[in-house]
Amino acid sequence: MLRQIILIPTLFFFSNTAFSQNDKYDIVTKDVLHFWEAVDSLKENCDTTQIFQRIVINRATNEFKLFIKKWKITAKDYAYQYRHYPNFYRTLRSSTIKLINDENLIRETINKFRKIYPRYIDASICISIGNFMTGGSISIIHEDILNHNKFVYIGLEYHGLDSSTIISELPIQTQDYVSRSNFYRTIIHELVHIQQETHGKKIAKSYYGGNLSAAILREGIPDFISKLVYPLGNNGNNYYYGTQYEEVLRAKLKNEIYGSDFTYWIYNTNTVSDQPRDLGYFMGSRIANSYFKHLSTTTIDITELIEIKNAKKFIKKSSYIN
């Protein structure tokens, strides 16, 4: 079963925050209900692929269609995974329904992010159950920065689990990934990506510089901010491993951070067998944490953590790797 760890807030306490019903974003959850409707329609000797195609793919919301195309989500994969992970899906349902039924908490969490980032830009939230292709993703339509449509995708097969979800049927690498299952943090993480890409080309370019420093900031800063906004829930294997071996990892990263080899650190699903994947997320969050401690401000404002124009200067100013 998924280990549920509670992280005690150490930086700031956020009080309950009212949100406006006029928020300029949607929270789309119909696709989750379509998935469970398809499951309930399955019968012995039925064409499982056809049912997932008819109920989930063909009836997908416009928002989910974007991510179906982006991540090549197919009815055939749904059928295969449902056949092979029956206990996982059986124990996943209740937590996913609970999450999508509490829209107020989703909006409250997002509003906490807004409060500490004055230049926050809204994006609609598409929540569904996918094919284990991604736990979170973003889509930005149109090149016009001011008028484009922005969407965040949250895959509940990765981030809708709770302590009762049985994960033993899943591949080992997938079990490692779902150790990070944290619905609210993932929403904030992906919303940080929206901010990284919508405040001008210079800021966006700093996160896509082609070297390791840009990549670990691109992923580590959203991880840090998501924990700041929502301190509760799972941290993941990469966090616990990183905490235990931080000094060793810091020494190694110092020698590699401005290179272009990501193999050890990030997006490394199958390349390192004796440690958790994506340790670069953890190290990037530690750099962000170190930078944050050096901010001379009496109010919480994370603008400098998001609107980076030079990754190397940011890392140097953090004093984490010297």
CA 55 – CA 48 distance, rounded (Å): 11
**What pLDDT is attached to residue 48?**
96
pLDDT single digits (tens) 213-259? 999 999 999 999 999 999 999 899 999 999 999 999 999 999 999 99
| The one-letter amino acid at 274 | D
Structure tokens, 19: 């949100």
DSSP state of 47: -
CA 88 – CA 170 distance, rounded (Å): 8
CA 228 – CA 300 distance, rounded (Å): 10
Closest alpha carbon to 215 in 271, 156, 257: 257
CA 53 – CA 307 distance, rounded (Å): 42
Give the sheet arrangement for strand 136-141, strand by strand.
27-28, 124-128, 149-155, 136-141
pLDDT single digits (tens) 48-68? 999 999 999 999 999 999 999
- Per-residue pLDDT at 7 exceeds 70: no
Average pLDDT rounded to a whole number, residues 295-320: 86
- Per-residue pLDDT at 10 exceeds 80: no
DSSP state of 136: E
| Sequence ranges of the domains in the chain | 22-198, 201-322
pLDDT band at 90 (very low <50, low <70, confident <90, very high): very high
| The one-letter amino acid at 2 | L
Read off the pTM.
0.90
Specify which of 138-142, 204-208, 239-243 reaches the highest per-range mean pLDDT: 239-243
Torsion of CA 183, 188, 194, 197, to 10 degrees: -120
Asked whether 163 and 68 are in contact (CB, 8 A), the reply is no
| Coil vs helix vs strand at 207 | coil
